[in-house]
Amino acid sequence: MRKFVAAIFFLLLIPVVSQARGQNSVHKNGKDSRMLHTEKKHQKFKSVDELPLTYRKAARIALSYYPELKNTRIIFREKNIKTTMATRPRMDFLFHGKGKRVYCIFLDTKVKNEDGLLPSEVPFHALVGLFGHELAHIIDYKHKSAIGIVTTGIRYMGHHYREELENATDRETISRGLGWQLYDWSEFVLEAPDVSEKYREYKEKYYYDPAQLKKIIRRQ
């Protein structure tokens, strides 16, 4: 029964979490990195120390703002996920207590038909903000029971709850001191000349825009 519930949950769960739905955006300077990524096999990095250098630096900076995650096992994995970055508990979360869960942060590796945005295309400070947002999702997961996580996955299908969750995750990121990095990420996605209108509308619907982020940051 537990395995059945877990399977249903992961079929329903949109990579909760992604600060960017990469399949709907395009950045013109990433063609070379796209070609490089599509030629590589997907890699699984068991710790931040195993990440490629650029990702490693950005992830370490973001992690330094979440000291309570020091003893939390986080696996970084390159995978074709059709979104820039996504975070969720490993599938065995139903069988472990809160303190023994493993979390996965997925980094996209492939863009189909020149439609998407890879982490390798994101400017460094914006990448720090994106990692910070994903780590804020882990903080949220850590405070929830297994049933609470399942409920989150189901409710995320609703537009109103999705907006509430992503806004709360942004506020958590800002409260940690990563507000301006998150601002850089939001500004980059919304103002890059080749970002698709469909993706821009999605961001505007579910996430704080740069002006809103700036107001929240200045209130801190």
pLDDT-derived band of residue 189, with 50, 70 and 90 as boundaries? confident
What pLDDT is recorded for position 95? 80
Q: Name the least confident of 31-40, 81-90, 111-120.
A: 31-40
Distance CA 220, CA 218 (A): 5
Tell me the pLDDT band of 21, cut-offs 50, 70 and 90: very low
123-144 pLDDT, tens digit each = 999 999 999 999 999 999 999 9
First to last CA, the chain: 46
Q: 41-63: per-residue pLDDT in tens?
A: 556 677 888 888 889 999 999 99
Decide if 4 is inside a domain: no
Confidence band, pLDDT 50/70/90 cuts, at residue 10: very low
Q: Is residue 49 part of a domain?
A: yes
Is residue 174 assigned to a domain? yes
Domain assignment of residue 5, yes or no:
no
Between 197 and 73, where is the model more confident? 73
Residue 107 lies in a domain: yes
Q: Give pLDDT, residue 52.
A: 85
- Predicted confidence band of residue 121 (pLDDT cuts 50, 70, 90): confident
- The answer to whether residues 156 and 16 touch, using CB atoms and an 8 Å cutoff, is yes
The pLDDT-based confidence of 193 (bands split at 50, 70, 90) is confident
**Residue 10 belongs to some domain of the structure:** no
Mean pLDDT of the chain: 79
Q: Is a pLDDT exceeding 90 seen at residue 174?
A: yes
**SS3 string of 124-185?**
HHHHHHHHHHHHHHHHHHHCCCHHHHHHHHHHCCCHHHHHHHHHHHHHHHHHHHHHHHHHHH
Domain encompassing residue 96: 17-219
Structural contact between residues 88 and 16, judged by C-beta atoms closer than 8 angstroms: yes
Tell whether 6 is covered by a domain: no
Tell me the range of 14-28, 168-182, 192-206 where mean pLDDT is highest.
168-182
Mean pLDDT value of segment 161-178: 97
Burial profile 16-54: b = 16 or more Cβ within 10 angstroms, e = fewer: bbbbbbbbbbbbeebeeebeebeeeeeeebeebeebeee
Per-residue model confidence (pLDDT) at position 15: 45
Residue at 2 is within a domain? no
Where does the pLDDT of residue 113 fall: very low under 50, low under 70, confident under 90, or very high at 90 and above? Answer: very low
Which tops the pLDDT comparison, 24 or 43?
A: 43
Number of domains in the chain: 1
pLDDT at res. 169: 97
